[in-house]
Amino acid sequence: MAKPYETIRLDEPRPHTLLATLNRPESSNAMNTQMGIDLLDLFDGIGADPARYRAIVLTGTGPRAFCAGGDLKERNGMTDAAWQAQHLIFERGIRALIACPVPVIAAVNGAAFGGGCEIALCCDFIYASETARFALTEVTLGIMPGAGGTQNLPRAVGARRAKEVLLTGKPFTAADGFAWGMINRVCPPEQLLEEALDVAGTIAANAPISTRQIKHTVNMGLGMDLHSALMFEIEAYNRMVPTEDRREGVRAFNERRKPNFQGR
């Protein structure tokens, strides 16, 4: 297991699966400087050793909040230089999350406002509690999203819907997010974590090199023209051919058993 952190609790509830829980319940899991440092270290570490896990679930402590965004109490009275220095840590943490080669599922258990909504959008997909609420409220504070919100939200819901959310700062429900295509599944609160861990377990049972290559290919291909993306896909596909996992998958199919993938 990864090393312990001050603001993130780590568990391994299923084989090859990491459960990372944002853990500042006294502040609605708001993102302070230490949480930014912890997120950066956690996801940088996984990026450097992607075989350690095969799926990750990211959630928040308690039923009230996934993450309430930046900790405005800590930010109150910050100088411009201190604010920008803190935000650089946040930027690096978010980029490490986006670049994580292992599939990451957000299990949004409550309010995901500001940076909390941005963290969820940086994950590969989102499961949300029926009681979860989302907002990008930065415009009401004299700033703007700076952790991917202006880029990830329009990619998820379309430019016109995203502009409405970003320019008003108004919250929306999990049902809204599902209808718009931002959220994959809305769950009863008591079933959210179990359903997220179930899908993580399904992913973790698949060939880990394949899942990492699929994630990489989708992410890279979205920024390419179709012809270039198809060529990139074939290069990624060809990396599967000489693997033991590819041979094991075919053997298991013919022997009518579940494959035992080793990630090599």
Please tell me the distance from the alpha carbon of residue 68 to that of residue 82, in angstroms, as a whole number. Answer: 21
Residues in a beta bridge with 21:
9, 59
Catalytic residue among 12, 74, 118, 195: 118
Closest CA to 125 of 214, 45, 48: 214
Please tell me the distance from the alpha carbon of residue 20 to that of residue 241, in angstroms, as a whole number. Answer: 33
Closest CA to 39 of 84, 1, 95, 120: 95
Residue written as token pair 């952190």: 5
**CA end-to-end span of the chain:** 20
Q: Is 138 one of the catalytic residues?
A: yes
Catalytic residue among 6, 26, 130, 138: 138
Residues in a beta bridge with 204:
none
One-letter amino acid identity for 58?
A: L
Which are the catalytic amino acids? 118, 138
